[in-house]
């Protein structure tokens, strides 16, 4: 027997397995360390993609808004922002820091301290966006697909908008980062409703993950091209949140370069799918609203009809990070896909983003049995998600083997929230 250890978000767990049955351990790759982080950041800022250097691109005495992603993302903004601010201040002192929660709750003081840093918060004005304040948004345009684009007024007032984010696989847009900081980051609810709805209804979730050629990514990129998105700074990280690559400049060119590195580091190759996959939801372990991503990613590593053992802290339950969507989850999860779409046709859906989570859930739930190990989910949550319950990894493995056989092959994805395994040759 071999002991395996992993961090599930806030604490470390260990479990033992017969290592002869473990056919893969799909860890993220690391680049050889060639330089210190500060040097890496400065070098990236000196060599932007499709744009001038930041200090040259910022208009003199212009109003600059720096948008940062929220606490559900691991982007180390506090370590990057001092480098950005030093360059921007060569041209202007009119700088505001702004959060991009999409339809998540506003960030707490503790989260702001960790994400942005107290010294920066004390020096610059902060706008901790609350998407429920509809008066803060203004209509800009309607796209050819019919998306009504409402953006936060602070973004529209700016002369220069810089978006800081991270690139990982994503279930709605294929890869996060780029213009996603604008939509859904600082867009009004109806804009996010529309883009997520067309992404869920017109495409298969499993065909979107890890691709750029999908309807929702095309729509948010178009929105980025039509509004004042001036510059991006996107990271590719390892499991320790160390920066492996930083991509600066034009929001398409820099983002696509970052995706290429992310594919190399975040998509480990396995020989074949396992009967049983132990998938750790970290770092998407706040609530199921975020954990749907690792839940979906885990499907790529398991055989059809196999078992996913889902390690999920759920410190904020089903939807604590996006509480507005909880009623929709509770309403639509028990319904069939056809029943949800019928409600949509009849104009009865009030929260389309919430409904899309249920739609995507239905599209993957039949692929494998799910046994969840979680301290944060209530019994009714297990029933709602159609997950079986186990108190430990060892118990879950025995439950899976009782169905699949004692010689079932096991795969492990220790950081499944940002890992997309690829089968060799596919």
The pTM (predicted TM-score) of the whole model is 0.94
What contacts 299, CB < 8 A, 6 or more positions away?
206, 308, 364, 367, 368
The pLDDT of residue 123 is 96
The pLDDT of residue 267 is 97
Helices 189-201 and 352-364 pack at an angle, to 10 degrees, of 20
Cα gap 63→271, rounded to integer Å: 52
Burial 74-85 (b: 16+ CB within 10 A, else e): bbbbbbbbebbb
User: 366 pLDDT band (50/70/90 cuts)?
Assistant: confident
Question: At residue 426, does pLDDT exceed 90?
Answer: no
The pLDDT of residue 38 is 96
Closest C-alpha to 28, from 328, 381, 345, 415: 415
Tens of pLDDT, residues 253-270: 999 999 999 999 999 999
The pLDDT of residue 265 is 97
3-state secondary structure of 237: strand
Cα gap 26→177, rounded to integer Å: 23
How far, CA to CA in Å, does 247 sit from each of 50, 79, 157, 332, 373? Answer: 11, 15, 26, 39, 37
The pLDDT of residue 278 is 98
DSSP string, 129-196: --TT-GGGEEEEEE-TT--EEEEEHHHHH-SEEEEEEE--EETTTEE--GGGGTTTTTB-HHHHHHHH
The pLDDT of residue 228 is 80
Cα gap 85→426, rounded to integer Å: 43
Tens of pLDDT, residues 121-130: 999 999 999 9
User: 205 pLDDT band (50/70/90 cuts)?
Assistant: confident
283 cis-preceded (ω within 30 degrees of 0): yes
What contacts 151, CB < 8 A, 6 or more positions away?
137, 138, 140, 182, 186, 187, 188, 191, 227
Mean pLDDT of the chain: 95
Tens of pLDDT, residues 37-85: 999 999 999 999 999 999 999 999 999 999 999 988 999 999 999 999 9
Tens of pLDDT, residues 212-230: 999 999 999 999 999 889 9
Please give the average per-residue pLDDT across 101-111, as a whole number.
Answer: 93
């Amino acid at each position: 027997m071999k002991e395996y250890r992993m961090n599930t978000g806030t604490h470390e767990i260990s479990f033992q397995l017969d290592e002869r049955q473990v056919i893969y351990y799909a860890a993220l790759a690391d680049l050889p360390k060639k330089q210190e982080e500060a040097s890496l950041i400065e070098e990236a800022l000196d060599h932007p993609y499709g744009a001038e250097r930041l200090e040259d691109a910022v208009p003199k005495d212009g109003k600059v808004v720096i948008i940062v992603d929220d606490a559900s993302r691991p982007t180390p903004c506090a370590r990057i922002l001092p480098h950005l601010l030093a360059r921007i201040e060569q041209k202007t002192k009119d700088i505001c820091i702004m959060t991009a929660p999409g339809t998540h709750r506003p960030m707490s003081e503790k989260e702001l301290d960790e994400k942005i840093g107290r010294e920066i918060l004390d020096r610059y004005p902060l706008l901790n966006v609350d998407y429920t304040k509809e008066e803060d948004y203004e209509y800009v345009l309607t796209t050819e697909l019919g998306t009504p684009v409402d953006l936060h007024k602070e973004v529209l007032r700016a002369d220069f908008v810089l978006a800081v984010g991270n690139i990982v696989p994503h279930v709605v847009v294929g890869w996060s980062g780029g213009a996603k900081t604008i939509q859904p980051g600082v867009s009004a609810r109806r804009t996010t409703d529309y883009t997520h709805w067309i992404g869920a209804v017109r495409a298969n979730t499993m065909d979107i993950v890890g691709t750029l050629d999908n309807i929702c990514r095309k729509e948010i990129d178009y929105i980025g091209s039509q509004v004042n998105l001036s510059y991006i700074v996107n990271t590719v990280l390892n499991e320790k949140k160390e920066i492996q690559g930083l991509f600066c400049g034009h929001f398409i060119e820099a983002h696509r370069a970052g995706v290429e590195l992310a594919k190399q580091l975040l998509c480990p190759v396995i020989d074949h799918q396992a009967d049983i996959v132990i998938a750790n939801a970290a770092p998407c372990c706040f609530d199921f609203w975020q954990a749907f991503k690792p839940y979906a990613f885990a499907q790529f590593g398991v055989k059809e009809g196999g078992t996913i053992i889902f390690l999920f802290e759920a410190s904020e339950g089903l939807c604590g990070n996006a509480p507005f969507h909880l009623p929709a989850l509770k309403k639509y999860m028990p319904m069939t896909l056809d029943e949800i779409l019928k409600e949509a046709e009849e104009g009865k859906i009030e929260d389309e983003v919430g409904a899309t989570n249920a739609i995507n859930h239905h599209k993957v739930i039949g692929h494998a049995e799910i046994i969840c190990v979680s301290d944060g989910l209530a019994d009714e949550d297990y029933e709602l998600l159609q997950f079986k319950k186990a108190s430990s990894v060892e118990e879950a493995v025995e439950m899976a083997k009782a169905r699949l056989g004692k010689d079932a092959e096991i795969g492990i994805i220790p950081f499944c929230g940002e890992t997309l395994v690829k089968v060799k040759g596919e």
